[in-house]
Amino acid sequence: MVKKKIALLGATGSIGRSFWELYAEQKERLELVFAAAHQNYQKLCPLAIKHGIKILVFTGIDDPAEQTRIRAQYPQLKVWFSEADLLRLLQEEDYDIALNAIGGSAGIQATFTILKRGKKLALANKESLVMGGHLVQKIRRPGQIIPVDSEHSAIFQALGEHPLSEVQKLIITASGGAFRDYPLEDFEFITPAMALKHPNWDMGAKVTLDSATMFNKALEVMEAHWLFEIPFEQIEALIHPQSVIHSLVQFVDGSLMAQISSPDMKLPILYALSYPQRWKSQLVQTDLLSIASLSFEAISAKRYPLYMLGLEVAQAGGILPTVMNAAAEAAMHLFLSELIKFTEIYAVVDRCIQTAQQIPDPDLEEIIQTNKTQYDKVLAEYK
Ligand code: NDP
Ligand code: MG
């Protein structure tokens, strides 16, 4: 059997962890060519040795002495240490599909490098599309991006070969996060530990926090807009607390197609890697009889103001989604460091949006620069 050659970015994160489980199961179908992370060499180097991976890259270990020490500790590995090296490997190495699961805005350069080289992209890093969707549109080939985010994977599966003209709307589901039923008057007492516990999904810190504020759903509306090239007016989001229906497509004849499975990222990752085929796997099983009920509710503007602001920013477009995401990343960092309250996350982001200078059609340089300036500016205010 010809193996699919994979480049894995974000190998030590939550999506990365799911990938390694899949990789162990699908060894006869997949071959990992190289893996990348930011700093966590203690985790990635042993994993690479265990699975026979030779090439690694860390983008966040700058100290030359530490680099020398790591290379000496793992002589059987070829280890690189910069974002430039990561982008070069994406340019030079022989892979069929790259899984971009880098956390947050840091993933954008890799997305553009992969797309420009014409390689397939299994995309978990939604921030790439939120910030640079208008540029991605200009360079992507049809079928080049396969979504990994569970909602978008669900839509991709439900859509099948149907053209957009047959779609009435996309319905994105949201769990409601950790505070769906939490008393509103107690929101200001929410601690980082409380916000980092997701009721249904086991994910990295940023996406878990983004779920608690529902900012994640605004990001996903933008992601869907660019991925499926569909107007915002035809995208709806609603709360579905059980996280079993991962999203739906409503067609023009009124029919709704949903994708159903246990909330486990291994399935959308596997589908992105196996597409257009489906591969046999034991890893995610769904027992319909154990699901007591399926319910749906509207998203409350009072409970999730960041979601509402995110929809306005989505419509405005230009540089504002980048400003908003950078402000949210900074605000969440402040919240996790206990420098601001949970309820102040919205205030920080809103202030950044109200004072931002719009750039209607930013290029990649402007996006990367604005992202950094905005993030640093918010943090500096709380030094
Ligand atoms: P995590 O925070 O768990 O992991 C992030 C990964 O990215 C780590 O491997 C980290 O390395 C690496 N990383 C961080 N910064 C850089 C950088 N500058 N260069 C290279 N690598 C970097 O994130 P998740 O796995 O939760 O999420 C990854 C992406 O997938 C996000 O965009 C998220 O929104 C999206 N996603 C995640 C889902 C989930 O279930 N977790 C669901 C849907 C989407 P290190 O460990 O060394 O810091
Ligand atoms: Mg999602």
Q: Which ligand is nearest to the CA of 325?
A: 1
Asked if the structure places residue 320 within a domain, the reply is no
101: CA distance to ligand 1 center in Å? 5
The span from the CA of 8 to the CA of 204, in Å, is 16
Cβ atoms of residues 99 and 37 within 8 Å: no
Number of domains in the chain: 1
Asked if the structure places residue 110 within a domain, the reply is yes
Asked if the structure places residue 91 within a domain, the reply is yes
- Could you state, in chain order, the average pLDDT of each consecutive group of 10 residues for the chain (383 residues)? 96 98 98 98 98 98 98 98 98 98 98 98 98 98 97 98 97 95 96 92 90 96 98 98 97 98 97 98 96 95 97 98 98 96 97 98 98 98 90
Query: Is the Cβ atom of 124 under 6 angstroms away from ligand 1?
Result: yes
**What is the domain-level CATH number for residue 125?**
3.40.50.720
Question: Nearest 5°: phi and psi at 209?
Answer: -65, -40
Closest listed residue to residue 227, CA positions, set 111, 77, 78: 111
105: CA distance to ligand 1 center in Å? 10
Show the 3-state SS of the chain: CCCEEEEEECCCCHHHHHHHHHHHHCCCCEEEEEEEECCCHHHHHHHHHHHCCCEEEECCCCCHHHHHHHHHHCCCCEEECCHHHHHHHHHHCCCCEEEECCCHHHHHHHHHHHHHHCCEEEECCHHHHHHHHHHHHHHCCCCCEEECCHHHHHHHHHHCCCCHHHEEEEEEEECCCCCCCCCHHHHHHCCHHHHCCCCCCCCCHHHHHHHHHCHHHHHHHHHHHHHHCCCHHHEEEEECCCCCEEEEEEECCCCEEEEECCCCCHHHHHHHHHCCCCCCCCCCCCCHHHCCCCCCECCCCCCCHHHHHHHHHHHHCCCHHHHHHHHHHHHHHHHHCCCCCCCHHHHHHHHHHHHCCCCCCCCHHHHHHHHHHHHHHHHHHCC
The span from the CA of 174 to the CA of 163, in Å, is 25
Amino acid, single-letter form, for residue 263: P
Query: Is the Cβ atom of 218 under 6 angstroms away from ligand 1?
Result: no
User: Ligand 1, closest atom to CA 205?
Assistant: 2
Question: Nearest 5°: phi and psi at 53?
Answer: -90, 135
User: Ligand 1, closest atom to CA 127?
Assistant: 32
Asked if the structure places residue 25 within a domain, the reply is yes
Asked if the structure places residue 68 within a domain, the reply is yes
| pLDDT at position 64 | 98
User: Looking at the chain, how many residues does it have?
Assistant: 383
383: CA distance to ligand 2 center in Å? 32
Query: Is the Cβ atom of 10 under 6 angstroms away from ligand 1?
Result: yes
| pLDDT at position 199 | 86
Query: Is the Cβ atom of 15 under 6 angstroms away from ligand 1?
Result: yes
Asked if the structure places residue 289 within a domain, the reply is no
Sign of the CA dihedral running 313, 321, 9, 363: positive
Amino acid, single-letter form, for residue 36: A
Asked if the structure places residue 199 within a domain, the reply is no
Beta bridge pairs of residue 4: 30
| pLDDT at position 201 | 86
220: CA distance to ligand 2 center in Å? 7
The predicted model scores a pTM of 0.98
Query: Is the Cβ atom of 234 under 6 angstroms away from ligand 1?
Result: no
Q: Which ligand is nearest to the CA of 130?
A: 1
The span from the CA of 131 to the CA of 371, in Å, is 9
Asked if the structure places residue 26 within a domain, the reply is yes
Q: Which ligand is nearest to the CA of 201?
A: 1
The domain of 16 spans: 4-147
| pLDDT at position 70 | 98
